Structure 1
Amino acid sequence: MNLLFAEDDALLAQLFQLQAQQAGHAVCWVENGDAAVQQALSYQHDVILMDVQMPVMDGVSAMQLLRQLGFDRPIVAMSAEDVVETGFDLVLKKPLHWDQVQQQLSQFQLAPSAVLQVPLELKNAYIQHVEHALRQLEQLYHEEKWPEFAALVHQLKGSAGSFGLEQISQFAHQFQISREQSGDEELRACAMLFLEQCKACKLK
């Protein structure tokens, strides 16, 4: 089957492409909602998997535009957060795990059963990405750029578990909960705790 995968995280997209292709699917990857709309309207794809948070046009806006234009094929939301908007046929919770993706997509009769491992080269590339992200987060912490800090943590929450780094996803989720419940004074402490937890986590 032909899958359209709309995701701005290049490494996560590469992992999904590899897993889906090994399971016998064709995958087209786009990096934002605007490109997803253009690709979807070619009607070459059986199912659209749409990340909710993307640049240029977010996944919700892209889905709504496609529905307004009469697009009637399955559109699947992907998000680390709850998705309440109507119009999606299914919501996949990030981090994505291929066995769970297969199980959920089976209702569209698309996913043959396959047990796949993350290639070592791709996992090492993602680990380098995490290490770079943690350095960025330290800089953002010192500069007290909290919206940018939270956005990068959100990205890690949505992708780390797909590469076997479940603790990073869990720490990111805990940070988001603490951030919602904390005032400005506590936010700095929450951010420091997240950084310390990630540094103590064994990545390799």
Structure 2
Amino acid sequence: MNLLFAEDDELLAQLFQLQAEILGYQVLWVANGDLAVQQALSYQFDLLLMDIQMPVMDGISAMQLLRQLGYDRPIIAMSAEEVPATGFDLVLKKPLQWPELQQQLAKFKAIPSIELELPTELKEAYLAHAKQLVQQLATLAEQQNWIDFMAIVHQLKGSAASFDLAPLGQLADQLQKEWKTIPAGQRTERATYFLEQCKACKLK
């Protein structure tokens, strides 16, 4: 089975591609919804996995455009947030859990279940990436640039658990749920507390 994987997080895409190919899938990765539409319309892929928040064109807009153009192959949404299922064949919650993902993909084509290990090199690469993101968060908090700050928090929420950093993902999830209720004058204090918690999540 040929899979098209649309995801703007390069390390998450590398992890998916590595694990999917071990299971016998062929995978092409694209980094935004516009490229996903272009590649999907080549009809070389049996199934499209689509992240929702991507640059250039988001996943919902890409799916809607494909459906308008008559594309009838399976499209699976991937999101850390709740997503309407209309137009998608399936909605998967991020971070992706491989046992669940294998079970869901088996509905489209049977693939034997295999227990997969996270490659050390990829885990170390993500750890370094996460450290950089936390440093960026510290700078953005000082600038009170909350739009970019929360965009990175969302990214951590959707990817950290896939690289054995579930506590970091849980912290990001908790902050995202609370953020809209935090008064503007208390956001710097809450962001500082979040960053202190992050440093305890095996990031040293």
Letter of the 2:172 partner, please give it.
Answer: A
Aligned to 1:191: 191
Letter of the 1:139 partner, please give it.
Answer: T
1:63-122 Cα shifts (integer Å, max 9, x gaps): 000000000000000000000251011011001121121112222125431110110000
Aligned to 1:34: 34
For 1:86 and 1:189, locate their aligned partners in 2 and report how far apart those are by CA, in whole Å.
Answer: 39
Aligned to 1:173: 173
Letter of the 1:160 partner, please give it.
Answer: A
8 Å contact from structure 1 (residues 6, 48) kept in 2: yes
- TM-score using structure 1 length: 0.97
- TM-superposed deviation, 1:46: 0.6
Tell me the matched-pair count.
204
Aligned to 2:154: 154
For 1:157 and 1:33, locate their aligned partners in 2 and report how far apart those are by CA, in whole Å.
Answer: 20
SS at the partner of 2:29? strand
Matches within 5 A, 1:41-80: 41-80=41-80
SS at the partner of 2:197? helix
Matches within 5 A, 1:89-128: 89-128=89-128
For 1:131 and 1:141, locate their aligned partners in 2 and report how far apart those are by CA, in whole Å.
Answer: 15
For 1:99 and 1:123, locate their aligned partners in 2 and report how far apart those are by CA, in whole Å.
Answer: 19
8 Å contact from structure 1 (residues 165, 203) kept in 2: no
Q: CA RMSD in A?
A: 1.1
- TM-superposed deviation, 1:140: 0.3
1:112-164 Cα shifts (integer Å, max 9, x gaps): 31110110000000000000001000000101000000000100100001111
SS at the partner of 1:117? coil
User: Which deviates more, 161-170 or 92-101?
Assistant: 92-101
Aligned to 2:21: 21
SS at the partner of 1:77? strand
8 Å contact from structure 2 (residues 175, 194) kept in 1: yes
8 Å contact from structure 2 (residues 3, 48) kept in 1: yes
Moved over 4 A (4+): none
For 1:111 and 1:71, locate their aligned partners in 2 and report how far apart those are by CA, in whole Å.
Answer: 24
For 1:45 and 1:184, locate their aligned partners in 2 and report how far apart those are by CA, in whole Å.
Answer: 46
The 3 A distance-change label for structure 1 pair 149 and 143 is same
The 3 A distance-change label for structure 1 pair 2 and 201 is same
The 3 A distance-change label for structure 1 pair 24 and 148 is same
1:18-65 Cα shifts (integer Å, max 9, x gaps): 000000000000000000000000111011000000000000000000
User: Which deviates more, 89-98 or 49-58?
Assistant: 89-98
SS at the partner of 1:152? helix
User: Which deviates more, 43-52 or 179-188?
Assistant: 179-188
In structure 2, runs of 5+ residues without a counterpart are none
Letter of the 2:118 partner, please give it.
Answer: V
For 1:29 and 1:58, locate their aligned partners in 2 and report how far apart those are by CA, in whole Å.
Answer: 15
Letter of the 2:62 partner, please give it.
Answer: A
SS at the partner of 2:4? strand
